[in-house]
Structure 1
C-alpha cells in the first residue's frame, strides 16, 4: 500500500519503519520542511523517508494520523484537499473526541479509529527505541470504514499483533481509562510509570477508574472498574521504567493532551451532571501547570 504517516513522532516513526520493512511505500508528513526524514529504529539501519511530498499524498491509499490529539485538526484539514476521496484515514493517537469535531469533513470518507499499546521513545531527531511490545486494534468510525477490515491484516503482517475490533469504542475507552489514571498522575508527581504500582496509590487509581467507567456508560460502553484497575496497575508495572507521554510533555513545557484524556471524561460528566472530583482535579492541575508557563515567560 501507499501509506502516509501524519506526525512522525515516536509512535509514527515506529509504525513507518515497521510498515516499510513489510514492503509498503511509506511517506511521512512532519513539521520540518526538509524533503527527507531519516528514521533509525533501535540498532537497525537508517531509512530516509520522503517528507511533505504532495505527490505521495495524492496517491496515498492510507493516511495514518499519529500527531498529538490537540494537533489533529490543524494538521489534517490542509491535507484533505490533496487526498483521494477513497483514501482511508486511520486515527492512531491518544485520547478521544478529535474525530467528532471533524465529522462534517470526514463524513464521506472511509475512516478508521485505532489504538496502540506499543511503547516508543524518540531519543534524538532520527532515532526511535521500541520500549514496549504491545498491539494495535483497529475498527470502523463510519459505514465506509466498515469495508476496510483488511487494514488490520496489513498492520498484522507488518507489525504484529494487530486485530480488527468490531466495537472499537470499547478498546478506545479502555485505553482512555488507563491514560486517565497514569498520564496526569505521573506528570504531577514527576515520576516514572512504575511508581504508581505502589500500594499507596491504589485507592486514588480506583477512584479515577470508577469515575471514567461511569462516564463510559453515557457513551454506550460498559467496562468493569475492578478489572480495569488491575489493568492500570499491570500497565504501570510492565512499563515501570517509562515516562508517560504527558509526563514528557509537562516536563518539557509542551502542551499536553489533557483536554482529550481526562478532559474528555470531564466534558461527559458535565453534560450529564455527574460528579467526578478525582478526574476534575487532575484535569485542573495539569491546566494550571500549563497556564503557569505563559505567566512566567
Structure 2
C-alpha cells in the first residue's frame, strides 16, 4: 500500500517504520521543510522517508493522521487538493471531536478512527523509543470507513496486536473517560499518574468519575460506573511512573488537548443537560494555565 503519515511524532514515527518494514511504500507530511526525514526506532537502522511530497499524497491509499487533536484540521487543510476521494483517512490521537470536522472537508472519503496503547517516546527529532507494547483498535466512522475492515490485517502485520472494532466510538469514549480523570489532574498538580492513587485525590476523583459516568450513560455507552472506576485505577497503577501527555504539555508550556478531552465531554454534558461542575472546574483550570503563559 501507499501510506502517508501526517505528523511523524512519536506514534507516527513508530507506525511509519513498522509499515516500511512490512513492505509498504511510506512517506511523511510534517512541518519540517526538508524533502527527506530520517527516523530511527530503538536500536534499529535509521530509515529515510520522503517528506511533504505532493505525488506521494496524490497516490496515497491511506493517510494516517497522528498529529494532536487541536492541529488536525490545520494540518489537513493544505493537503486537501492532493487527497484522492478514494484515499482512506484514519485519525489516531487522544480525544474526540475531530472526525465531525474532517467529514465536512472530506465527505466522500472513507473515514476511520483508531486508538492505540503502544508507548512511544521521541528522544530526538530523528530517534524514537518504543517504550511499551500495546494494542491498537481500528474502526469505521462513516459507511465507507466501515467497509475497510481489511486494514486490521495490514496493521496487524506491521505492528501487532491490532483488532477491528465494529463499535470504535465505544472504545474511544472509554479512553476519553480515563483521560478525563487522569490528564487534567496530573497536569494541574504536575504529578505522575501513580500519585492520583493517594488519599488526597480520592474524593475529587470519585466526583469526576461520577459525572463522566452520567454522561456515558446519556450517550448510551455500555460501561458501568464500577467498570469505569476499575479501568481508571488500573491505568493509574499500570502507568504509575508515567507522565500523562497533558502533564508534559503543561510542563513544556505547549497547548494541551483539553478541548478535545474534557472539552468534548462538557459539550456532550451540555447537550444532555447534565451539570458537570467538577469537570468544568478542571477544564477552566487548564485553560487558565494556558492563558497565563500569554501574559508573561
What interval of TM-score do these two structures reach, taking the shorter chain for normalisation?
Answer: over 0.9
Map Cα deviations across residues 132-184 of structure 1 (whole Å, 9 max, x no partner): 22111011101111110011111111110011000111000001011111111
1:185 partnered with 2:181 = no
Task: Please report how far the alpha carbon of residue 281 of structure 1 lies from its aligned counterpart in structure 2 after TM superposition.
Answer: 1.1
Other structure's SS at 1:67 match = coil
Following the alignment from structure 2 to structure 1, what is the Cα–Cα distance between the partners of residues 213 and 66?
Answer: 26
Following the alignment from structure 1 to structure 2, what is the Cα–Cα distance between the partners of residues 139 and 207?
Answer: 31
- Are the counterparts in 2 of residues 205 and 229 from structure 1 also a CA contact under 8 Å? no
Other structure's SS at 2:283 match = helix
Over aligned residue pairs, what C-alpha RMSD do you find?
A: 1.3
Other structure's SS at 1:107 match = coil
Q: Which moved more, 1:153-162 or 1:266-275?
A: 266-275
Q: Judging changes above 3 Å, is the alpha-carbon distance between structure 1 residues 144 and 240 closer, same or farther for their aligned structure 2 residues?
A: same
- TM-score normalised by structure 1 residue count: 0.96
- TM-score normalised by structure 2 residue count: 0.96
Task: Please report how far the alpha carbon of residue 255 of structure 1 lies from its aligned counterpart in structure 2 after TM superposition.
Answer: 0.5
Matching residue of 1:18 = 18
Matching residue of 2:173 = 173
Matching residue of 2:242 = 242
1:212-291 matched pairs, under 5 angstroms: 212-291=212-291
Following the alignment from structure 1 to structure 2, what is the Cα–Cα distance between the partners of residues 69 and 11?
Answer: 13
1:141-220 matched pairs, under 5 angstroms: 141-220=141-220
Structure 2: runs of 5 or more not aligned: none
- Are the counterparts in 2 of residues 113 and 140 from structure 1 also a CA contact under 8 Å? yes
Following the alignment from structure 2 to structure 1, what is the Cα–Cα distance between the partners of residues 100 and 148?
Answer: 20
Structure 1: runs of 5 or more not aligned: none
Following the alignment from structure 2 to structure 1, what is the Cα–Cα distance between the partners of residues 12 and 46?
Answer: 15
Following the alignment from structure 1 to structure 2, what is the Cα–Cα distance between the partners of residues 290 and 37?
Answer: 31
Matching residue of 1:140 = 140
Following the alignment from structure 2 to structure 1, what is the Cα–Cα distance between the partners of residues 238 and 133?
Answer: 10
- Are the counterparts in 2 of residues 113 and 168 from structure 1 also a CA contact under 8 Å? yes
Following the alignment from structure 1 to structure 2, what is the Cα–Cα distance between the partners of residues 268 and 215?
Answer: 7
Q: Judging changes above 3 Å, is the alpha-carbon distance between structure 1 residues 78 and 220 closer, same or farther for their aligned structure 2 residues?
A: farther
Other structure's SS at 2:114 match = strand
Task: Please report how far the alpha carbon of residue 241 of structure 1 lies from its aligned counterpart in structure 2 after TM superposition.
Answer: 2.2
Task: Please report how far the alpha carbon of residue 199 of structure 1 lies from its aligned counterpart in structure 2 after TM superposition.
Answer: 4.4
Matching residue of 1:293 = 293
